[in-house]
């Protein structure tokens, strides 16, 4: 009989089937909380410290107190992976405002809810062709930076869900969303890059994007490979007319965009730069300096 995965919930490790939160939790009622999606490759958690830092930055912005400090959160993540004997995994860390009443005010929430899920995924290691996706430019705009900014990785993904539904209805795989000014912002769960005449462009953070951990590492990877990379506004016309377009995120890794609104991007397949970046990205994800080993220490319960 297959062993059931263990989930960390508020200080306890429980079977997946018994991992629950209250219907009065403000994360359920109002999307009031923050989260991180993290990857483990071959026994090492990729970019763990930056992910934990971003979790705390998101929580600080919405005035949510995380019940554990950064060191203890890190230990919980590693222990969750160990208990499930995972080496290649997708990890979800979630902090909600906690149980409260039916009013929107967070004052009724006395204690935050914290849970960590880790599930096995196939390793990305080894050379392979990037997956090619078809996207549309969604009519759903990214919320502006002075509204419910997407710089906060919050539990409210309705903006992305509506755009993904629009893409599905159009027969596409995903959507690219624009900011309130009409410039390219990001995908529903990924950051966007466009290769134009040998230069890699990506939207500025002022275009209402998440400060992607994978995005930041790809920008640095481009520079390490001698590729010129520029952060600036990108118009829909430039996106459609680019030589290559690719999308990147923790779970998605690197996806080649074959078409935008039915118009081919380049030859409609992964371009030279996209292929190169995926090949080099798969090499670095298990480098010692890029990750935190899961099994290097004895198990530390929290």
Cα separation, 244 vs 214, whole angstroms: 18
Dump the DSSP string for 114-153.
EEEEEEE-----S--PPEEEEEEE-SSPPPPTTSS-TTS-
| Cα separation of the two ends of the chain | 28
Return all residues near 251 (Cβ < 8 A) that are at least 6 apart. Answer: 37, 39, 90, 121, 189
List of residues 6+ apart from 116 with CB closer than 8 A: 7, 8, 76, 77, 80, 91, 92, 93, 94
Active-site option among 153, 228, 251, 275: 153
275 is catalytic: no
Measured CA to CA, the distance from residue 288 to residue 295 in angstroms comes to: 13
CA atoms within 13 A on the CB side of 34: 25
DSSP-derived letter for residue 280 is H
Residues in the chain: 302
Residues 6+ apart with CB under 8 A from 262: none
In sequence order, the 6+-apart residues with CB closer than 8 A to the CB of 10 are 113, 114, 115
- Residues tagged active-site: 153
């Amino acid at each position: 009989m297959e062993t059931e995965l263990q989930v960390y919930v508020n200080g306890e490790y429980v079977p997946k089937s018994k991992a629950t939160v209250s219907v009065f939790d403000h994360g359920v009622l109002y999307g009031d909380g923050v989260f991180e999606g993290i990857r483990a490759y071959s026994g090492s958690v990729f970019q763990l410290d930056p992910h934990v830092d971003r979790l705390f930055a998101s929580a600080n912005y919405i005035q949510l107190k995380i019940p554990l400090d950064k060191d203890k959160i890190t230990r919980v993540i590693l222990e969750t992976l160990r208990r499930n004997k995972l080496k290649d995994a997708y990890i979800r860390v979630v902090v909600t405002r906690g149980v409260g009443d039916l009013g929107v005010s967070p004052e009724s929430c006395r204690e935050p809810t914290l849970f960590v899920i880790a599930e096995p995924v196939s390793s990305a290691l080894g050379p392979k062709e990037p997956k090619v996706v078809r996207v549309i430019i969604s009519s759903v705009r990214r919320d502006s930076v002075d509204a419910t900014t997407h710089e906060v990785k919050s539990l409210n993904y309705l903006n992305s869900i509506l755009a993904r539904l629009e893409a599905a209805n159009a027969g596409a795989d995903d959507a690219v969303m624009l900011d309130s000014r009409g410039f390219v912002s990001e995908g529903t769960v990924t950051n966007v890059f466009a290769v134009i005449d040998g230069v890699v462009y990506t939207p500025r953070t002022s275009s209402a994007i998440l400060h992607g951990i994978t995005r930041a590492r790809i920008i640095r990877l481009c520079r390490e490979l001698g590729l010129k990379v520029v952060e600036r506004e990108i118009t829909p016309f430039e996106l459609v007319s680019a030589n290559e377009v690719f999308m990147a995120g923790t779970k998605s890794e690197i996806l080649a965009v074959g078409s935008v609104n039915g118009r081919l991007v380049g030859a409609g397949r992964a371009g030279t730069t996209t292929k190169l970046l995926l090949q080099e990205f798969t090499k670095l994800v298990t480098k010692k300096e890029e990750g935190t080993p899961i099994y290097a220490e004895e198990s530390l319960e929290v």
